[in-house]
Each structure stands twice: as C-alpha cells, then as structure tokens.
Structure 1
Amino acid sequence: MKNKVLLCLLPLWLLSTGCSTFTEQTPPKPVAKVVKPKSPQAPGANLQKPQPKPYVAKKPVPGSGTATYAIDDGKTDFKVEPSLPAFRAEPLTPPLDPLPEVPSAGAVPAAPALPAFAVEEARVPTGTPPAVLALLTEADRNRVAGNLDAAVVSTERALRIDSRNPTLTYKLAQLRIKQNKPQLAEELAGKAALLAGSDLDLKRKSWLLIAEARRMQQNYQGAKEAKAKSESFFGR
C-alpha cells in the first residue's frame, strides 16, 4: 500500500522540481566588448598626402560644336599694356629768384670790402751814398719794365749798404705790394715807420701802405685803423 502511494507521489515531485529549476534559471549577463585602441603613430612620421592628378585637357570631339581648354595656373607671364594716353612733355618754368638770406641772430655780419688805398712815392733824402742811388735807379728801371724780382734784388743790395735808411725800407715794401705779398709789405712798412723818426711825411706814407697791405689780407678793421693812424701825421 505504501509503495503504491510513493509511486503516485514520485511523478508529482519530479514535475514540481523541474518547474522550479526552469523558473530559477536567469538569462546570461551581457559581456562588454573590449575594443583595443589603435596604436599611435610615431612622431615625426611624414604623412604623404595623395597628390592630385594633373589635369589633362580633353580633345574636342569633332562635330560636337564645343571645345575644351586647359585651365590657366596663373603663372604665365604677361605684360599689361598701359591704357592711358601719352602726355607731351612741357618745358619747365624758369626758377624763381632766390630770396635774400636773412642773417641769424648770433651771426656776425661780414665787413664790407674797402677800396684800395693809394700808395705814394717817397723821395730819397739828401746825402744818400752814390752807390745806393745807382742801385735805386736800377731798381726803378726794372720796376717800370715789369721785372719786379730784379727791382727787389737791387733794393735789397742798397739796404745792405745802408740798412738804417727808412726810405729804402719803404721802397722795398712798395715792391712787395706790387708782388702781391701784403704780409711782407706790412712788416717792412712798419719798420720804415719806426726808422722815420721825425720824418712825419714818411710816417704817414708808411701807415697808409700798412692800411693797403691789411686791406689785401681782408683785415678791413685793421686797415681802417691804419688809415686813421696815417691821418694823424700832418707832415707833408
């Protein structure tokens, strides 16, 4: 009896066990897919871009009525012709007269030029040695002929004979003025003025010759002073 009951309960037990097993099974969990990153490219690697293919002009199809031309790359040299009309060159107008220069506040105005001073002849004093007179005559002859160097040589020889004669010194200063040697002439005329002593007329002529020598050296202020000095002597 008991065996029959067990046999009847066994199928029911098996059926309940199978249902519980079926219901407890869970669906499989999703598995994440791992994607491997791409390996980085080495630095400095030159990437070569694909070069565009050169454009090739298509040949026109005969009878199609259209033509295909190559595209200009812009590098063709071309010359742009001027479109403006040519102008005729007009003569330049004459320049205007320059404006007079205005001296600045601190500038010293140049002294005006002076006219030449007259150089007078000096008479030979009495009692002059005959040899000196002969040399002076030769010097005057060479001076008139234009041979100033020979006249200077004769006068210097006369001075070696009579070195204290102021008239000979003055005559040599005259020759230096004619030779355009104003510095030597000024020195000789100053010496003649000192040797003249009481001969006021020779002093006046000597200072007048000094004024001319200074004028030739463009020492206009000194020339005026020498001229005023010569006018202070009244022996004539």
Structure 2
Amino acid sequence: MQTFTPNRVAIVTGGSGGIGRIVAERLASDGLAVAVHYAGNKDDAQEVVDTITATGGNAMLVRGDVADEADMASAFAAIEETFGGVDVVVHTAGRMMLAPLIDFDLTQLDALLRTNIRGTFVVDQLAARKVRNGGAIINFSSSVVKIALPSYSAYAATKGAVDAVSLILARELRGRDVTVNAVAPGPTATPLFLNGKSEETVNNLSNMAPLQRLGTPADIAEAVSFLAGPARWVNGQTVYVNGGVI
C-alpha cells in the first residue's frame, strides 16, 4: 500500500452521502488528506475519492459499519497505515426514519438507535483514542431537536443523544488539545431529506428560515471546515447551521 505523509488527515464517515460528500471535498480543498468512509455505497464513495485526487488532493476509501467496533477499528488502522495518523473525525453517517411516535415501528427504532447512537459511541471512542493533538471531533446532530417537527420523535431523540455525547466527551478530553463539537443542520437539500416530501412540504420547510431557502451541503461543509481548522476556542458546542430557523 502506498503511504503518504500529509500535514493533516481527516476521516469523514458517510462520505458518500449528500452532506458527507461535500464535507470530504471541502476538507480536501482546505489541504487535508481525506479518508472517505462508506458502508454500502462503494461506487459513490469512489467517485468522491476520484474527484479529490483529480484536483491534486490525497484521498482513500475506508469501509465499515459505524456501529461495529471491529469494522471501524480496521478503518482507522488503514488510515494510520496510509496517512500516518488522524487529526479530524467528522461523523456524518446516520439514518433517518420518520413516523408519528404512536405508530413508530420498534424494530425500526432499534435500527435507528444502533446506527445513530451506538455508531456515534463507536466512532467517538476511536476518535478519542486516535486523534492527534490539535485535532477535532465533529459529530452530526440536527436542528430538529429544537424545531420539534411532528414525525421526527425517534430521529430527534437520537440526535439529542449526540448533543449530550459531544459535550461530555469535550469535557472528558480535558488536558488534550482536541475539540469536540456537533453540527446541527436545518432543512438541507439532500436526497435523504427530500425523499418522499411533496413540493408543498419542501416549500414550507424552505420558508421556515428568514433567508427563505433550504440549506445546501456546501453551507454545512463551511461550518465543518471552521470547526476542523481555525475554531480552536469553540468546544463542547452544538452549532446550529440552519439559516436562522431557530
């Protein structure tokens, strides 16, 4: 395996997804080597790697179920072997299932909890052990924790857990130069968000923000770039990136 020696290295979980893809490309444009993580969409993840390398950046693929500690330990080990270490962990991978609480399928709830909560624990445990001084751990929450839209109870519950984990981990890393924050996007134009929504629903959600539009993955990536690099005095925060919805 070819080994590179870049200055800073990031892993983006869910790097083949709508937000994860743009985050990976933004961090690469900032000069970081990027490990693009995927669980099942290898072809999409490879496209992200190819886009980064075509513009002169360094990127690699890593695979794993974020809720499986052995899978993710192997992914982190591969990054260390290729790039020499890890400085930034951006955990965008997650699932979203929507239904009113009264009707919510508890089997789906278990799957949601496994990916969004256990997955955050697994990734953050490895990040806390592996991230070098001067690094950053960036989890993904959601503005729906505060917006409290109907049918989002299960999803919002998992993201409320992410908020709690992020703050507590920041405090547990006292004495190390490693920040931990969560990014909480608002309504953002991604396939995951738009799937199954009517044009009327999308228009209503667009108008929630004073800027009267949906967010874009690039809007979210801008906040991640800030937290991954210059924002050394932002720590233990949930940063709402939603155009002023709340």
Same fold (TM over 0.5): no
* Larger strand proportion of the pair: 2
Normalising to structure 2: TM-score of the pair? 0.21
Say which one has the larger Rg: 1
Normalising to structure 1: TM-score of the pair? 0.22
Bigger relative contact order, structure 1 or 2, given CA contacts below 8 A and separation 6+?
A: 2
